Amino acid sequence: MDGSILALFLLAAFVGGVVSGLAGFAFGLVVSGVWLHILTPLQVATLIVFYGIFVQAYSIFALRLSLVGRHVIPLIVGSVVGAPLGVWLLHFINPGYLRLAVGVMMIGYSLNGLLRPTLTVVPANVPVELGVGFLNGVLGGMTGLAGVFVTIWCNVRGWSKDTQRSVYQPVILASFAVSAISLAAGGALTAPTLKLYLYGAGPLLAGMFIGLKLYGRLDDGTFRKVVLLLLLLSGLLLMIPELLF
């Protein structure tokens, strides 16, 4: 990898760290737009998953005083149960149609939230949270989007920004951990990939530090808008390739 390509790789890691530190998700969304042009798809997936574990663990530690186990556990259990079903359903569902449908859902939800700023809080109990976690796992198994439903769910619960992140980030971390085991067992952790991982760790950490500092300056309303904008961007990036190609 020559110097200019390496610089692009490191810059993407830094920007991804800033966004992840700010919002607690969307690292893969940011970096894949660059990395897929300079690395193999397997390398990109492996780096996103293993960086994702680091990113989520770091942020969870920073927000450890806000952790709410009674909400996290049902969501994780549901996600772990739903993920294998999502993988199995891939054999029967056209992935292009799936990405299109999920993209439409994410765009519709985000625009509704941005254009109607008054939030209607949705009540919940353990069975509902298990159901949300299950749907989150199914979608993650089919698309690799490990935190879409749980992030939306935390958004509509009306929680503070710290509580939202302390719930959806452990769920995303659990999903990444399952993926990491599969990737490692499949031999994805090659020497060149590990070398890239070490190169990018410093810029990623610096970006996360800046992102968390910016996060500390956001009020709950502004944080909700940041989440909605990132979900909107995610939905557009899912839809556009399916409509153009």
Q: What percent of the chain has pLDDT over 70?
A: 97
Closest listed residue to residue 142, CA positions, set 175, 169, 110, 184: 175
The pLDDT value given to residue 117: 67
Q: Which domain holds residue 228?
A: 3-244
Q: DSSP letter at 66?
A: G
The pLDDT value given to residue 182: 79
Q: Which of 44-48, 119-123, 137-141, 168-172 has the lowest mean pLDDT?
A: 119-123
Does the pLDDT at position 198 exceed 90?
yes
Of residues 78 and 239, more confidence is placed in 78
Q: DSSP letter at 65?
A: G
Distance of alpha carbon 112 from its chain centroid, rounded? 21
Average pLDDT over residues 16-32: 87
The pLDDT value given to residue 144: 67
pLDDT, tens digit (0-9, with 9 covering 90-100), for 100-115: 888 888 899 899 888 8
Q: How many domains does the chain have?
A: 1
Helix (H, G, I), strand (E, B) or coil at 32: helix
Whole-Å CA distances, 84 to 81, 105, 153, 169, 219: 7, 22, 21, 20, 37
The pLDDT value given to residue 245: 64
Does the pLDDT at position 33 exceed 80?
no
Whole-prediction pTM: 0.81
Of residues 10 and 240, more confidence is placed in 10
Of residues 40 and 243, more confidence is placed in 40
Q: DSSP secondary structure string, 75-143?
A: HHHHHHHHHHHHHHHTTTS-HHHHHHHHHHHHHHHHHHHHHS-S--PPP--HHHHHHHHHHHHHHHHHH
The pLDDT value given to residue 134: 92
Q: In sequence order, which residues have a C-beta less than 8 Å from that of residue 242 and are 6 or more positions away?
A: 96, 97, 99, 100, 103
The pLDDT value given to residue 29: 79
The pLDDT value given to residue 233: 86
Neighbours of 7 (CB within 10 A): 11
Average pLDDT over residues 33-41: 85
pLDDT, tens digit (0-9, with 9 covering 90-100), for 159-176: 889 888 888 899 888 888
Residue tagged 């500092």 (tokens): 213
